[in-house]
């Protein structure tokens, strides 16, 4: 069972449907793995429903009923995400095995993506798949860290949410396993290191980018794409 959870204010925003899509997907996947946060989301949804019941209904304007009927008769246009699943020819066999271990709803979201998916090397022992986020300021990606390998020491331009999907990693703040979530911001300077036993697979959503620190970071930052 996860030990590192989503903060209650974020769970409340998620229950209210006011999160950016990549963040909502990360939280939905964590909630699927975490009975404690799942119960909290249900509680917030119940509170929201009770509040809605207390709101006085607004009077309909002239023509509202006709507009509603016209929408019902309009042809169905699927959401851009509801495209056909990615063909097995669009991904390599190593990625197919990685997708198989992903929890829902993330697995379905990835297999329904129209993008061509493949791992790209981002450093020694680090690979990444950038996922469509629908938001130019947010980078959503799968990260795979080899056993015992580490990410570069870095801080953040905004916020970084990371959900562990398989394996585990640690940094100065703690140890994170499947289902655990970490939240880092510009006040955090850390160096995640995968456990020695297995590779670590994570889903990360970064708003504002990351910035490498230290002497090598200052050299590499102009070329950084993470």
Q: Given a cut of 60, is residue 106 above it in pLDDT?
A: yes
Look up the CATH number of the domain holding residue 157. 2.60.120.10
Digit-coded pLDDT (tens) for 2-15: 999 999 999 999 99
Any idea which of 6-15, 94-103, 211-220 has the lowest mean pLDDT? 211-220
In a domain, 199, yes or no: yes
Per the structure block, which two tokens stand in for 51?
A: 């509040």
In a domain, 120, yes or no: yes
In a domain, 99, yes or no: yes
- The pLDDT-based confidence of 101 (bands split at 50, 70, 90) is confident
Report yes or no: 115 and 94 within 8 Å, Cβ to Cβ.
no
Q: Compute the Cα dihedral for 26, 31, 36, 41 and give only its sign.
A: positive
Digit-coded pLDDT (tens) for 64-92: 656 655 655 555 343 333 333 333 344 44
At residue 216, the 3 state secondary structure works out as helix
**Neighbouring residues of 153: CB distance < 8 A, sequence distance ≥ 6:** 189, 190, 191, 212, 213, 214, 217
In a domain, 65, yes or no: no
**Domain enclosing residue 48, as ranges:** 1-57+86-226
In a domain, 92, yes or no: yes
Q: pTM for this one?
A: 0.76
Number of domains in the chain: 1
In a domain, 158, yes or no: yes
Question: Which residue bears the tokens 């959870």?
Answer: 5
Buried b (16+ CB within 10 A) or exposed e, 133-163: beeeebbbbbbbbeeebbbbebbbeebbbbb
User: Alpha-carbon distance 176 to 63, whole Å?
Assistant: 55
Digit-coded pLDDT (tens) for 162-191: 999 999 999 988 999 999 999 988 888 888
In a domain, 71, yes or no: no
User: Alpha-carbon distance 16 to 5, whole Å?
Assistant: 18
Mean pLDDT value of segment 114-120: 78
In a domain, 68, yes or no: no
**Neighbouring residues of 18: CB distance < 8 A, sequence distance ≥ 6:** none
């Amino acid at each position: 069972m996860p030990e590192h959870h989503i903060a209650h204010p974020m769970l409340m925003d998620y229950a209210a449907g006011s999160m950016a899509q990549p963040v909502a997907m990360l939280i939905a996947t964590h909630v699927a793995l975490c009975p404690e946060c799942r119960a909290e989301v249900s509680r917030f949804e119940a509170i929201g429903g009770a509040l809605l019941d207390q709101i006085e209904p607004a009077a309909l304007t002239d023509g509202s009923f006709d507009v509603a009927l016209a929408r019902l008769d309009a042809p169905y246009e699927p959401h851009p995400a509801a495209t056909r699943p990615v063909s097995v020819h669009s991904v390599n066999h190593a990625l197919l095995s990685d997708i198989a271990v992903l929890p829902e709803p993330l697995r379905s979201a990835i297999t329904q993506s129209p993008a061509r998916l493949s791992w790209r090397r981002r450093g020694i022992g680090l690979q990444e798949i950038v996922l469509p986020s629908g938001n130019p300021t947010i980078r959503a990606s799968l990260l795979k860290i080899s056993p015992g390998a580490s990410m570069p020491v870095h801080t953040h331009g905004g916020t970084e949410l990371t959900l562990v999907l398989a394996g585990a990693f640690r940094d100065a703040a703690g140890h994170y396993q499947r289902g655990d979530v970490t939240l880092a911001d510009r006040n955090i300077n850390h160096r995640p290191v995968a456990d020695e036993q297995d590779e670590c697979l994570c889903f990360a959503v970064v708003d504002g980018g990351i910035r490498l620190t230290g002497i090598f970071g200052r050299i590499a930052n102009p070329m950084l794409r993470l």
